[in-house]
Amino acid sequence: MKKNISAIIASVSCVLLIICLYNISSLKKEVDNLKSNLYSRISDIDRSISMISYDVKKELESQASLLSDGQWAYGDIDFENYTVSVNVSVTPKEYTPDKTSAVIVCGKKEYPMTLSDGAYIADIELSFFENSIIDSVLFEKEGTVQTESLNWEISPRYDCLPIVYAENGSSTGTVKNGFFIWGYDDGICIIAEQKNGNIGEIGSISVLAYSDGVLSKKFDIPVDQEKMQRHDVGFDYFIEFKNEFKIPFESKFELYTEVEIDGLYYRNKIEEFDISSNGSDLSEGDWFRNAEGSIYDADGNIIFDINAVYDIE
């Protein structure tokens, strides 16, 4: 009988111990959740405190500003003269219609503004290929000039025009009879992307081969618009290109793609070989692969030199 009582007491003790352990585990989880919530609230408070000075600064700037509203937007694009119109509008808090005049300052130029429905407006023309800053607006009334800083950065090259890349496929090269013989096994993928996704159609595609800096061969590639894989910001277009090239020893070979969109020719280097007297390649690196290219006009004149932008020799 005593043995049975001891066993019962031991069993009950084990059950009670398990219950206690479970409760302790539950309490620990509850404490951890409370700590997590506390840390989250402290973090929110810290963020709110850190934003107070910013919000106060913005409010003070807003109150001190001469403007109740100010904005700019791109207008018409002139592909013949490589310019884009920028529509600027500023609404002063106070003005006298017949006495207050305004000019917008962009770079070192001032553009007169006209009053329309309570806002002063102006259209200014900027080059595709120059980054510009609309510095400020000046209001003049009876000889008194007030200045409102704007500091609006404008980059038409990357806002209005596509960026074109070219991805090369696998290739094979071998040395034979004084030549480095090379060619692609499959082809080239053309990728065009534009910030607003409103990209034009491809007019033409060419592959240009240069030997020692001189155009040696041009391949015109048929364009099939239905084969373009369009996406939100542009398109991908694969072209089959399996041509073989015989590159003499002690010569330099370069291969480019040239894609025409809206009358502009986007040229990307996709291959470069500098073949030595024994057939080895001495070219330095492949930085140009999958990189943005330069832009040319229809006569082959360069109008946007990517090498100059990034100071590449």
Provide the pLDDT confidence category of residue 218 given band limits of 50, 70 and 90.
very high
Return d(Cα 171, Cα 190) in angstroms, integer.
Answer: 17
Higher pLDDT, 30 or 248: 248
Residue predicted with more confidence, 106 or 46? 106
pLDDT of 195 > 60? The answer is: yes
| Pick from 27-31, 86-90, 100-104: least confident | 27-31
Architecture per CATH, domain 67-157, reads as Sandwich (2.60)
**For residue 215, what pLDDT band results from cuts at 50, 70 and 90?**
very high
Average pLDDT over residues 110-127: 95
Residue 7's pLDDT is what?
65
pLDDT digits (tens, 9 = 90+) for 286-305: 777 778 899 999 999 999 99
Of the two residues 9 and 252, the one the predictor is more confident about is 252
Asked if domains 67-157 and 161-309 share a fold, the reply is yes
Domain boundary assignment for the chain? 67-157, 161-309
Q: What is the mean pLDDT of the chain?
A: 86
Which of the pair, 9 or 199, is modelled with greater confidence? 199
**72: amino acid identity, one letter:** W
* 8: confidence class by pLDDT, cuts 50, 70, 90: low
The pLDDT assigned to 249 comes to 95
Pick the range with the lowest mean pLDDT from 21-35, 238-252, 257-271.
Answer: 21-35
- The mean pLDDT of 110-124, rounded to a whole number, is 95
Of 14-28, 88-102, 119-133, 229-243, give the lowest mean pLDDT range.
14-28
| pLDDT of the residue at 313 | 58
Give the mean model confidence (pLDDT) for residues 111-125: 95
Residue 122 burial by Cβ neighbours in a 10 Å radius (0-12, 13-18, 19+): buried
Average pLDDT over residues 173-199: 89
Mean pLDDT of 16-23: 70
Instruction: State mean pLDDT over 221-225.
Output: 90
Q: Which pLDDT score is estimated for 29?
A: 73
Residue 41 CB contacts under 8 Å (≥ 6 apart), including other chains: none
Domain with residues 161-309, CATH architecture? Sandwich (2.60)
pLDDT at 60 (0 to 100): 47
pLDDT tens digit string along 40-70?
777 777 676 666 655 555 554 556 688 999 9
Q: Which residue has the higher pLDDT, 41 or 162?
A: 162
Q: What single string gives the DSSP state of each residue in the chain?
A: -HHHHHHHHHHHHHHHHHHHHHHHHHHHHHHHHHHHHHHHHHHHHHHHHHHHHHHHHHHHHHHH-SEEEEEEEEEEEETTTTEEEEEEEEEESS--TTTEEEEEEETTEEEE-EEETTEEEEEEEEETT--EEEEEEEEEETTEEEEEEEEEEE-HHHHHS-EEEEEE--EEEEEETTEEEEEESSEEEEEEE-TTS----EEEEEEEEEETTEEEEEEEEP--GGG-EEETTEEEEEEE---EEEEESSEEEEEEEEEEETTEEEEEEEEEEEE-TTS-B-----TTTT---EEE-TTS-EEE-HHHHTT--
pLDDT for the residue 23: 72
Identify the pLDDT of residue 299.
Answer: 93
